Amino acid sequence: MTGTNGKTSVASATVQLMRAAGWAAAGVDSLGVAHVNGTREPTRFRKSPDHLPAIIAEESRDGAEAVSLEAFVGILKDGLLDRVTVDVAVSTGIESDHLDTLGSLEAYRAAKLRLFTEHLRPDGLAVVATDSAHGELVAEAVARRGAHLVTVGAGGDVELLEAVEESGALRGRLRIGDGTWEAELPTVHAVAVTNLLLAATAVIALGGDPGAVVEGLARVSPPPGRLEVIGEREGVRAMVDTAHNPGALRAALRSVRERTAGRVLLVVGAGGERDRSKRPEMGAIAAELADLVVLTDDNPRREPPARIRAEVRAGCPDCIEVPFRADAIRAALAMAHPGDTVLVAGKGDETEQLVGTRRLPHDDRALLRAWVDGA
């Protein structure tokens, strides 16, 4: 699977649903390798077309019947999939990101579309959401390849119907082609629902039993740091998300807004030495969709943090600027009232902050847990 946002979530869910279907499955994503034996380890991706085939071969020797691959842009750009044949390709939407390394939006899109134009089997199948960003580009690429396209979402080939929220989950009927199954999804966030349905559709397309896959949906655990609720204290809910580009930030804020009775307070920044053009847009999205914005540092790297904040602030001139990230999080929590949600965006489950050439210990989730616990 590839796309601008949601790749790791879909990849993780795909492995879990393949196992729910009864297969010995492994996965490779941005967090590392989920081995077929159930263990997980981080990995560094080598710029060699032999790297991924070697991982797949090792997992196959250990008994893997299917492997899920997260095709982030570096893998596609550097040709790491050149010796891998893809049976089912999933798009989570193609927006704008990584322009600092690829140079243009056109080059970024072309790299992403290689999954469908070069690596997907000509008789393979592609899965895309009906509301996917630039889904028409994927559809055109799939048509040129001669592969089959399956759509997920409202009016698509796979659709969740009559969904009702119950205790933080959604229950409804999942229509898959001409058949329907009673389904429970362990989330109420629209973007997470779409990711789960993309994963389920991919597994069913590979031959997984629909009933077993749908039953497995209720047991899927999301990867850490993705729209993760850390806890609640005195009526204030604290959350983190990895959103670090305009599309992801917009989706996260809209999802949080739908589930928040009071205000949405956002702590956000932008990474240094990355695409500068997205910074004012992220600021504008924050100003539009959050009630209060605390602007802070993300991973400034070797770029002047004040310049990064100024470029984000161009889109949200009324935001509150607190450079030190831990102080910014504490400030947002102090300003929250019962019924509010504090969303800390950008770093998710990261445990370090990149400042200059140093890796400093920092964990958004740990700070929020300490606050929830009253520390």
Tell me the pLDDT tens digit for each residue of 314-329: 999 999 999 999 999 9
Is the model's pLDDT at 4 over the cut of 80? no
Coil vs helix vs strand at 188: coil
CATH number of 228-372: 3.90.190.20
**Residue in 222, 73, 205 with CA at minimum distance from that of residue 151:** 205
pLDDT computed for residue 77 by the predictor: 85
pTM: 0.89
CATH for 7-217 is: 3.40.1190.10
Q: What digits encode the pLDDT tens for the residues 225-278? A: 999 999 999 999 999 999 999 999 999 999 999 999 999 999 999 999 998 999
d(CA 210, CA 369): 38
Q: What are the domain boundaries of the chain? A: 7-217, 228-372
Across 70-98, average pLDDT: 87
169-191: average pLDDT: 94
Q: With contact defined as beta carbons under 8 Å apart, do 265 and 292 qualify? A: yes
Q: Where are the alpha helices (DSSP H) in the chain?
A: 7-20, 51-61, 73-77, 99-102, 105-114, 135-145, 190-205, 210-217, 246-258, 278-289, 305-313, 325-335, 364-372
**Average model confidence (pLDDT) for the chain?**
93
pLDDT digit string (tens) for 110-164?
888 999 999 999 999 999 999 887 889 999 999 999 999 999 999 999 999 999 9
pLDDT at 101: 60
Higher pLDDT, 188 or 214: 214
What tokens does 350 get?
A: 């990261």
Sole residue written with tokens 């445990």: 351
